[in-house]
């Protein structure tokens, strides 16, 4: 096991408690796209999609999607698409080196830009998969993208910058903390693709960070979130969803990300082993050193979101946010 010598300077491998499901039965799909299936109820309603495995090491999504498919949890209205996004990386998953399965050539969740999705001759495995999935994602009205995190911390619903996604996240009634952010400096996430962040159109997307990558409770949270999503959309009945819905106390606040720490050097280090959404009371507190630069908190009661275990130059190291109470119809 690799242990960091300074906070943010290396990888720590957590125990793998989840058995990666065999998804070979879904290889051919049913819409001409491998590992993508769409089920049409024949009744009016939205086109909803649940996606997992954008990153091959985040196996909770595969667990949740396999659960739905094995139990024939199909939509009672509209259409439901189930998407195993990055199966080549997932097929390399090794419990003794689980981080290595994140992607093959490039992070697929930084490629949802017009230049990448309309690329005529994709240059690697991830770009080719984005190119294939793009027409399907274009047709989706409401998207749930299932992910997991490095740290064993509170689950998060990442709602992007739109009020509509924040309201939808709150309406699920889950225990996850709702975070509103603009994504990453080094690329565009699928949840931020196209109209998903535009409050003037109806399409909505939500990225669920269900917990630490390989904890059993993370897979349970992914399954819970999938059922909450389907029940909220009236696509599955209460008695079908209820056995898999976890007890929850919805949050009183949501977090607006106002700053993002992106290291400018290969020598960036946190001052402490941050991991669990620490609230730092005093402005000006040094939380990291980036080469010769001290990274300080910009205001009081600042919340640290998803600090990276390994800080890498030009990649998101942490998000910095402030709390807002849910109040009124605009907040769901």
For 151-165, the pLDDT digits (tens) are: 888 999 999 999 999
State yes or no: pLDDT of 15 exceeds 60.
Answer: yes
When pLDDT is averaged across residues 169-189 and rounded to a whole number, the result is: 93
Which uninterrupted H or E stretch holds 224? Answer: helix 216-232
Classify 14 as helix, strand or coil.
Answer: coil
Contacts of residue 10, defined as CB under 8 A and 6 or more positions apart, other chains included, come to 2, 3, 4, 309, 310
The two tokens of residue 277 are 């959404």
pLDDT band at residue 110 using 50, 70 and 90 as cut-offs: very high
| pLDDT tens figures, 63-97 | 999 999 999 988 899 999 999 999 999 999 999 99
Strand duo 47-52 + 142-149: pairing = parallel
Can you give the three-state secondary structure of 274-310, one letter per residue?
CCCCCEECCCCCEEEEECCEEEECCCCCEEEECCCCE
Question: What pLDDT is stored for residue 1 in this prediction?
Answer: 29
How would residue 9 be classed by pLDDT, with cut points 50, 70 and 90?
very low
Does residue 2 have a pLDDT over 80? no
- pLDDT tens track for 296-317: 998 999 999 888 888 999 988 9
- Would you report the helix, strand and coil content of the chain in percent, each value rounded to 5? 25, 25, 50
Q: Do β-strands 204-212 and 253-261 pair in parallel, antiparallel, or remain unpaired?
A: unpaired
The domains of the chain, with CATH numbers, are 24-244 (3.40.630.10), 254-326 (2.40.50)
Closest CA to 88 of 117, 127, 119, 121: 127
CB 284 within 8 A of CB 301: no
| 238, burial (CB in 10 Å: exposed 0-12, middle 13-18, buried 19+) | exposed
CB 144 within 8 A of CB 123: no
Assessment of whether the complete model's pTM goes beyond 0.85: yes
Average pLDDT along the chain: 92
Q: Does 26 have pLDDT greater than 80?
A: yes
Residue 5's pLDDT is what? 36
Q: How confident is the model at residue 12 (pLDDT cuts 50, 70, 90)?
A: low
């Amino acid at each position: 096991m690799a242990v960091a010598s300074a906070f943010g300077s290396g990888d720590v491998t957590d125990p793998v408690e989840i058995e990666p499901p065999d998804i070979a039965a879904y290889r051919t799909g049913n819409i001409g796209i491998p590992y993508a299936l769409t089920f049409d109820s024949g009744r009016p309603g939205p086109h909803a999609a649940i996606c997992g495995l954008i990153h091959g090491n985040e196996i909770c999504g595969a667990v949740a999607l396999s659960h739905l498919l094995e139990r024939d949890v199909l939509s009672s209205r509209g259409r439901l698409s189930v998407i195993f996004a990055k199966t080549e990386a997932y097929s390399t998953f090794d419990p003794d080196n689980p981080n290595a399965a994140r992607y093959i050539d490039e992070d697929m969740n930084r490629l949802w830009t017009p230049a990448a999705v309309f690329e005529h001759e994709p240059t690697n495995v991830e770009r080719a998969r984005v190119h294939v999935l793009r027409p399907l994602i274009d047709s989706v009205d409401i998207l749930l993208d299932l992910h997991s995190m490095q740290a064993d911390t509170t689950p998060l619903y990442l709602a992007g910058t739109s009020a509509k996604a924040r309201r939808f996240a709150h309406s699920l009634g889950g225990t996850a903390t709702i975070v509103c952010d603009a994504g990453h400096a080094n690329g565009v996430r699928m949840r931020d693709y196209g109209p998903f962040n535009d409050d003037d159109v109806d399409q909505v997307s939500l990225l669920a960070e269900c917990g630490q990558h390989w904890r059993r409770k993370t897979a349970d949270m992914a399954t819970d979130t999938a059922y909450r999503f389907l029940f909220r959309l009236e696509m599955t009945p209460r008695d079908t969803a209820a056995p898999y819905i976890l007890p929850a106390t919805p949050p009183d606040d949501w977090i607006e990300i106002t700053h993002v720490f992106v290291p400018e050097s290969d020598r960036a280090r946190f001052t402490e082993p941050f991991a669990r959404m620490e609230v730092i009371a005093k402005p000006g507190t040094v939380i990291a050193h980036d080469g010769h630069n001290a990274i300080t908190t910009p205001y009081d009661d600042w919340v640290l979101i998803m600090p990276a275990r390994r800080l890498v130059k030009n990649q998101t190291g942490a998000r910095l946010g402030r709390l807002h109470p849910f109040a009124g119809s605009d907040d769901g």
